[in-house]
Amino acid sequence: MRIDLHTHSTASDGTERPAGVVAAAARAGLDVVALTDHDTTAGWAEAAAAAAEHGVTLVRGAEVSCSHRGTSIHLLSYLHDPAHPGLAAEMAKARESREHRAERMVQRIAGDFPRLTWDVVQAGTASGATLGRPHIADALVRLGYFPTRDAAFAEVLHDGSPYYVPHYAPDPVTAVTLVREAGGVPVFAHPLASNRGRVVGDDVVEAMVEAGLGGLEVDHRDHDHAAREHLRSLARRWDLVVTGSSDYHGAGKENRLGEHLTAPEQLERLLDQAVGAAVVAPR
Ligand code: AMP
Ligand code: FE
Ligand code: FE
Ligand code: ZN
């Protein structure tokens, strides 16, 4: 069983449509794939139809933006009820704030990269998509300012950049509580991805566990060996599910589907806790 529990589509900052991600998962030899777009479930219906067609089991999810005292962290939510008002409202609030934040970042960046406009960013963004810095990066690439998304991040879009503007996000304890209330399973995404910016300490993980955190994403390309060992020890201490995943973004990042996998018994433990939505099994 090949299980990859973290991918993105054009519903957020991936470059392939939801159906395209599922088709790519089938080609990559995955048996199970989760679609986890940032702050949205808009890709679920299309992905579900594609899963039936391509013979892949789909775990429907989302990656909920959170902020702990200004440090940005990501919470994967699996199989929550998308109609749960509290969780849906938090994700909608984050999406709306992301729009304003992106416009303000574009204004700032345009001071030094004058061909960048809001229209150029929108031209490369699927309608209704959760806007992120990758959409601005792609616009800068299309304009010829940078060769790749990564280069645009390294120069102008990283967390410490003078052009950086934060957006609204709930704190992680609130988000964990809401995911559980919605019947979903909350898993802390890449908790020690320190190459992207600040990370939180074990005390914050512990507070999330007390609120109902179900798992830790351990095997991820942004974790070195020491980070993975530390997270495995935390998972043992608090009896958490351990996952591994690619964080696939299509052509937007080098991450390849299936580059890290989740063990079948870990997926089983996760599914046993999920009551908000069902997996979509192939016909
Ligand atoms: P945002 O959610 O708008 O703050 O942007 C964060 C997103 O940008 C992450 O979810 C990644 O998909 C992407 N990202 C972060 N760092 C990089 C990087 N160095 N290169 C490419 N994409 C990145
Ligand atoms: Fe992303
Ligand atoms: Fe993430
Ligand atoms: Zn992600």
Q: Residue 196 — pLDDT band, cuts 50, 70, 90?
A: confident
Please say whether the dihedral angle defined by the alpha carbons of residues 55, 57, 61 and 62, taken in this order, is positive or negative: negative
pLDDT in tens, 224-258: 999 999 999 999 999 999 999 999 999 989 999 99
Question: What per-residue confidence (pLDDT) applies to 18?
Answer: 98
Number of neighbours of residue 81 by Cβ within 10 angstroms: 16
Q: How far is the CA of 36 from the centre of ligand 4 (A)?
A: 7
Q: Is residue 248 helix, strand or coil?
A: strand
Question: What per-residue confidence (pLDDT) applies to 35?
Answer: 99
Q: Which of 28, 57, 60, 5 is nearest to 244 (CA)?
A: 5
Q: Six-digit token pair at 267?
A: 């997926």
Q: Residue 34 — pLDDT band, cuts 50, 70, 90?
A: very high
Question: If residue 271 lies in a helix (H) or strand (E), which one and from where to where?
Answer: helix 264-273
Q: How far is the CA of 130 from the centre of ligand 2 (A)?
A: 10
Angstrom distance (rounded) from CA 265 to CA 243: 10
Question: What per-residue confidence (pLDDT) applies to 195?
Answer: 87
Provide the total of helices (H) and of strands (E) in the chain, helices listed first.
Answer: 10, 7
Angstrom distance (rounded) from CA 86 to CA 84: 6
Q: Six-digit token pair at 43?
A: 């890709």
Q: Which ligand is nearest to the CA of 131?
A: 1
Mean residue pLDDT of the chain comes to 97
Angstrom distance (rounded) from CA 221 to CA 190: 9
- Judged on CB neighbours under 10 Å (0-12, 13-18, 19+), 251 is exposed
Cross-strand bridge partners of residue 198 = none
- Is the pLDDT confidence value at 190 over 80? yes
Angstrom distance (rounded) from CA 135 to CA 13: 7
- Is the pLDDT confidence value at 90 over 80? yes
Q: How far is the CA of 218 from the centre of ligand 3 (A)?
A: 13
Stretch 16-37: mean pLDDT: 98
Q: Provide φ and ψ at 15, rounded to 5°.
A: -105, -5
DSSP letter assigned to residue 144: T
Ligand 1 pocket, residue 60 CB under 6 Å: no
Question: What per-residue confidence (pLDDT) applies to 283?
Answer: 75
Stretch 140-146: mean pLDDT: 98
Mutate to test the pocket of ligand 1, among 10, 74, 133, 159 (most ligand atoms within 8 A of CB): 133
Q: How far is the CA of 283 from the centre of ligand 2 (A)?
A: 30
pLDDT cut 90: percent of the chain above it: 98
The pTM is what? 0.97
pLDDT in tens, 173-189: 999 999 999 999 999 99
The terminus-to-terminus CA distance of the chain in angstroms comes to: 17
